[in-house]
Chains A and B, each alone.
Chain A
Amino acid sequence: MTPPIIQAIMTVGTSLPRIDALSKVTGEAHYPGDLVMPGMAHAKVLFARRPHARVISIDASAARAMPGVLAVFTGADLPVNEYGLVLFDAPVMVAPAASAATETSFDGVVRHEGEKIALIVAETEKIAARARDLITVIYEDMPVIASIHDAVKPDAMQIHPHYAGNLMHEYRIRRGDIDAGFAGADVIIEDTYFTGAQEHAYLQPEAGLAYVDEAGRITVQVAGQWVHEDQEQIAHALGLPKDQVRVIYPSIGGAFGGREDMSVQIVLALAAWKLNRPVKIIWTREESIIGHHKRHPMWAHARLGARRDGTLVAAEVTLIADAGPYAYTTTKVLGNATVMCVGPYVVPNVAINSRAVVTNNIPSGAFRGFGAPQALFVAETQMNKLAAALGVDAVALRLKNLLRDGSITVNNTPIPPGCTITDVVQKCVAAAAVAVSAPAISGQAGSRFVTGRGFACGHKNIGFSFGAPENCAATVELHGKTTVERAVVYHAGADCGQGAHTVFLQVAAETLGLPIEKITLVASDTATSGSSGSASASRLTFMASHSIVGAARAALDKWREGERPAVAHFVYRPRATTPMDPITGEADPNITYGYVAQSADIVIDRETGQFHVRRLVCADDVGRAVNPQQVVGQIEGGVVQALGWTGLENFAQRNGKVLSQHFSTYLIPSVFDVPDVVDSVLVENPDPHGAMGIRGMAEMPFLVVAPAVVAAIHDATGVWINELPITPERLRAALQK
């Protein structure tokens, strides 16, 4: 008998401390803004800071003549002046159309305030900033379209040549017979909803360092969510083969979807390439706020019909998303919102029309939840109103209608196996029923305070949807003579601060039977790993664990065959999904889903309109909690971020200009604004699609905080709120009606 090469090592399921915790608290960890190289030059971006204008000319002669200035780059310097995650429909830098050697149809026009005009590179940041202010740009202002309603008017000016009628994309779902469905309804709930934009507000504004590496590759060290996608977009704009571009992520100071699209990557690469010198940039907070996309504002009109016994019979939703001028990830976000906007329920008759509309607002794009929070705000508020109208318990109403294994979804196909939302709802309700000691209501108690409880639940896809190619690569190397002494895992997956790299090592340790200290992770570098796909869509733990298990097992096989070191590469490909049919919306859109249920206890100061969440219970089916402490971190962080969107964060734009350009006017929750108690309920029903049963979870805690709070406000006051954010002023106005 040969001795087993695998020992039982139990690391999956334990709250191992983060592998980067010490370096982060001691300041040793390097974020992009901390990177330095000898001979490094500094860059500044000239932003358009006007929402809609034709660029007539750019005169940078005075800037170029300034001592210490190395170069001023404009769109004319880019071989292919375009970028975009799903479509190449945005200019990297807007250049006058006539002068661009590689004219594309969308060049020459500034379409939002954060558009880039030039990159100034100088010996110091200060010189670059001064030179930036010497550039003269002549603009011809154009009419600004700042609302979705104005954008779709028949006589509205077309903002982008690709998008006639200012319509970027639309979806349609038709299931059953909608008219017959409503005809059979005893109760119909109908209302109009609106949710606002949201800024990601990550701690670390965009920054990066680009240089030519020892192999002659243009290398960009930056914070992002998918090194290979960044590499592809940089290579595309520079007109270079991909292998001449390298992207590396050092420590990342938060992402939340806000780093999925290009910010500093392409312009930095351009500068390092042309100057053959390291070039660094750090955006200020104000630059960051106009320089990257926001959560889509969405408008919706919804009708929901049910029989007296609570059985849902029909749902109709019209959704309009404000995309801003460029696609970014809008088509995908809108698709998600479309699939999720009637909630996690069986509804036999469904009609959904959704549209993404082009405006001159800051582009919209990925943000934790990716369209689902907006959609579920509508769906769940409709459900809570229905429960109130029927006079039944909101949870009981849901239990009657929830999707379960075998149920047919709005897309007319079965929900993927492992639909556990009934269990999640029950566990949430059970936890909420257990009293906890929350701090007493502060201040003088009395009639000014009213309290209430609200409930909501939801689902969201894990992994890419609608037939998008979905895969994740890992390489595992085993070293040693007779026994495996150490291992190296190569993986491109981004650790945005969520702890992905710790999870990678835990999964590797468990599969290889090696203590974690004997495993080295080489991560987030296009030069050392195959593509992992992005750290988004709650997919990275789900996808990466499959890839690491696959590579580790293959490496062990090679080890057994005597290979030293044993090296194996593995690409995980989940089951394929399909796009929605343009007429009926029929599709098998998603690999699998995550499920969440939330209960909110709030107190409202009726006189000021301010509300505070005293307790938030969040039950989330994570399949298997690889690192329970990190799961709790995701739940607490997601809940607080969602509360910001629900009540505080008012991303104000007027006529295409961002008014809330500072954290002094864009208020994110502070430590005193978090709920007094957050109960994280980790539900662990193994996902049949997951390695070790693992299911994605990172977006779920965000999903239904808003509708749970809205239901709690109704419970406390009898008033329904249809618009986010629920600022004190808005709530007070509603209470007065």
Chain B
Amino acid sequence: MQAFEYIPATTVKEAIAILAREGEQARVLSGGTDLIVQLREGRRKVRAVIDIKQIPEVNELSYDPATGLQIGAAVPCYRIYGSPAIAAAYPGLIDAVSLIGGVQIQGRATLGGNLCNSSPAADSIPALIAHQASALVMGENGERRIPIEEFCIAPGRTQLQRGEILLSIHIPPVSPYSGGAYLRFIPRNEMDIAVVGVGAWVALDQSGTTITAARIALGAVAPTPLYVPESGAGLIGKLVSSETVAEAATIAQAAARPITDMRGSAQQRSHLVGVLTRRALHIALKRAGYKSA
């Protein structure tokens, strides 16, 4: 492990000041389950590590049915699924946070870290995109809000500018007759990096049979998590059926730009996008209140 200066920041301002001063030479430390591994393996070199876990604002987790869910950047996964109200309201998000790593990892890992690490295979990001989440970012010149689908720009690189820090992630309130789901494929049953991940979210009309809104996002099939608006758009106004779901899956497949690596071939990934999109949509529809015949 390389030597670095460990700075436990106590205010957002302090963290931003150090980030502005040090630039690439400093990194925020949240749960550390990505950062520490990268530092140890020499994949990242930094002079300073700024621990944000003692900053009160980024530890806030609040849910209000009227305003939605706000997840502080340093809130670990277990707190999210440990809240019965949140678990009931956003099962599609829970799908993702409860499969990141294992129990020990979930005790530390944060959605903020998952997002800022900007891995193409990050499990929470497709789920967040599907749920129309946004990131609240703060820098020396104030705050800005970024839709999650725009947050990652390349593997390991985000929209964050010098001196900027992620404060929180916001998910809109749950609309009636809506539901989300996240599925990933790995060859074994836990602890692996997604071969493909799919987040899906749908809303139905009051009759529970016609789709009024849908969002699909894919993981591990492009340099960044991929929002596929056309896949969801194609569902709008349609009656729920296996055929409409299959069509959306085909559109998602067409949007995927997978590569071949040790975890799977491009061909297998493309196939899995179709399978998982269909399955995730079916789960989301069920959660939205659709009762299959």
A residues with CB within 8 A of B: 444, 607-608, 610, 612, 647-648, 650, 652, 659-660, 664-665, 667, 669-673, 727-729, 732
Contact = CB atoms under 8 A, between A and B. Distances in A.
B188 A669 contact: yes
A416 B153 CA distance: 68
A234 to B, nearest CB: 33
A652 B262 contact: yes
B253 to A, nearest CB: 13
Given A607-B275, A608-B275, A729-B265, A670 B191 contact: yes
B192 interface: yes
A648 B189 contact: no
Interface of B: 185, 187-193, 262-265, 268, 271-272, 275, 279, 282
A670 B190 contact: yes
Q: Which secondary structure dominates chain A's binding surface? A: loop
Which of A607, A652, A672 has the most chain B CB atoms closer than 10 A to its own CB?
A: A607
B188 A673 contact: yes
Contacts of B191: 670
A664 B263 CA distance: 10
A672 B188 contact: yes
A667 B191 CA distance: 9
Contact of B268 (A647, A652, A665, A732): A732
Most buried by A among B188, B189, B190: B188
Given A610-B185, A648-B187, A672-B190, 9 more contacts: A612-B189, A647-B187, A659-B262, A670-B189, A670-B190, A673-B188, A727-B187, A728-B187, A728-B268
B188 A608 contact: no
A444 B282 contact: yes
**4 shortest interchain CB distances as A-B pairs:** A672-B189, A729-B268, A607-B275, A672-B190
A444 B185 CA distance: 16
A728 B272 CA distance: 11
Given A660-B262, A732-B268, A610 B190 contact: no
Contacts of B189: 612, 670, 672-673
A282 to B, nearest CB: 15
A406 B146 CA distance: 79
A443 B265 CA distance: 25
Contact of A667 (B185, B192, B268): B192
A664 B193 contact: yes
Contacts of A607: 275
Contact of B188 (A665, A670, A729): A670
Contacts of B265: 729
Contacts of A664: 192-193
8 contacts: A444-B279, A648-B187, A650-B262, A652-B262, A670-B188, A672-B189, A728-B187, A728-B268
A612 B188 CA distance: 9
B81 to A, nearest CB: 18
Given A444-B282, A607-B275, A608-B275, A665 B262 contact: yes
Given A664-B193, A670-B190, A608 B262 contact: no
Contacts of A669: 188
Contacts of A729: 264-265, 268
Contacts of B262: 650, 652, 659-660, 665
Contacts of B275: 607-608
